[in-house]
Amino acid sequence: MLNDIFIAPFVDMFTAPDFLMQVLWEGLVSGILYALIALGFVLIFRSSRIFNFAQGIMVVFAALSLVGLFAMGVPAWISVGLTLGVMFVLAVVIERVVLRPLVGQPDIILFMATIGITLFLIGFGETIFGGENKVMITEELGIPTGDTVLEPFDGLLILQHLDITVVVVATLLVLGLLAFLNYTQMGRAIRALGDDHQAALSVGISLQTIWVLVWFIAGIIALVTGIAWGARAGVSFALEVIAYKALPVLMLGGLESITGAIVGGLMIGILEKLFEIYWGQPLLGGNTETWFAFVLALIVLLFRPQGLFGERIIERV
């Protein structure tokens, strides 16, 4: 038994390094998507102290809009543009109708409001687009679907072109977002608002503008995740669960930290894959990916309640 836990898995890793690389690669692909979604959560949380429960349904809504528009005969890339428009309108409406009247209410009320948004979007989405599964317009968007076979260590490593595209696009998006936050005035305004509301007001930052902006960014992230995940699993309301994968990422990385979201996402993506293949399947009958991340996050929380990168909460007595 101890052998199975502590020795055999590592022996497997070393005897078949090509397979290990395959596992790591697949972990990286999901990890970068988790990181991207977590980033959406962090941006909204930092600028408004709202934990956005609706992030998951935004992924679904974006993917459905894209597929729906295409089905109506709109060319693929124009559909993407229009879907971005839809996400922007959604951000404006959410800010006006939901957030603005609730400014200054306790955090839990705002959290409940995002659950309300989730339920509304589920119903609204089904009314417009119907509840049946749809296929993501992968080829029409020009996303390559073949694969490349490498042979490291005399073994076999299969890289799906779709996965490569996802990694490249998501990495570019993350880097772009970091640059935007760090080197532009609006990015500075977003970070400033997260640090201190009063001070932000005093330098002329408008809460409303920034809120629309971060919700729109969350919408862009939702669209990219929707395309990437939809291309593998089809477009349905079940896509929503991918956002809940971001929860352990946030527990691990801390709700305020952008670095935390990125590192946490990659860590969870890779570790859950490793655990599933080398421990989960042989010892526990598989399907550990649904819960492993949460257990990992809980263990981290035992030692660092603020997460790996969260702000330390010190209370003066």
Q: Which residues in this chain contact another protein in the complex, by CB under 8 A? A: 176, 179-180, 183-189, 191-192, 194-196, 198-207, 213
Q: Least distance (Å) from another protein to the CB of residue 185?
A: 5
Residue 78 CB, shortest distance to another protein, in Å, is 18
Q: How far apart are CA 138 and CA 145, in angstroms?
A: 8
Nearer to another protein among residue 13 and residue 192 (C-beta): 192
Shortest spacing between CB 311 and another protein, in angstroms: 8
Least separation in angstroms between CB 225 and another protein = 19
Smallest gap from Cβ 114 to another protein, in A, equals 24
CB neighbourhood size of 144 (10 A): 13
DSSP symbols for 265-310:
HHHHHHHHHHHIIIIIIIII-S-GGGTHHHHHHHHHHHH-TT-SSS
Q: Based on CB atoms, which residue is closest to another protein, 22 or 257?
A: 257
Distance CA 92, CA 23 (A): 41
Name the residue nearer to another protein (CB basis): 181 or 222. 181
Torsional class of 51: left (φ above 0), alpha (ψ -120 to 50), beta (otherwise): beta
Neighbour tally for 292: CB within 10 Å = 21
Burial of 233 (0-12, 13-18, 19+ CB in 10 A): middle
Nearer to another protein, 1 or 203 (CB): 203
Closer residue to another protein (CB): 140 or 195 = 195
Which amino acid, one-letter code, is at 295? V
Least distance (Å) between residue 188 CB and another protein = 5
Residue with tokens 């490593």: 157
Q: Is the CB of 85 or the CB of 116 nearer to another protein?
A: 85
Which residue number, 128 or 199, has a Cβ lying nearer to another protein? 199
Least Å distance between CB 257 and another protein?
10
Q: What share of the chain is helix, strand, coil (3-state, %, to 5)?
A: 75, 5, 20
> Contact 122/57 with Cβ under 8 angstroms?
yes
Element (H, E) at 55: helix 55-71
Tell me how crowded residue 237 is: count the other CB atoms within 10 A of its CB: 18
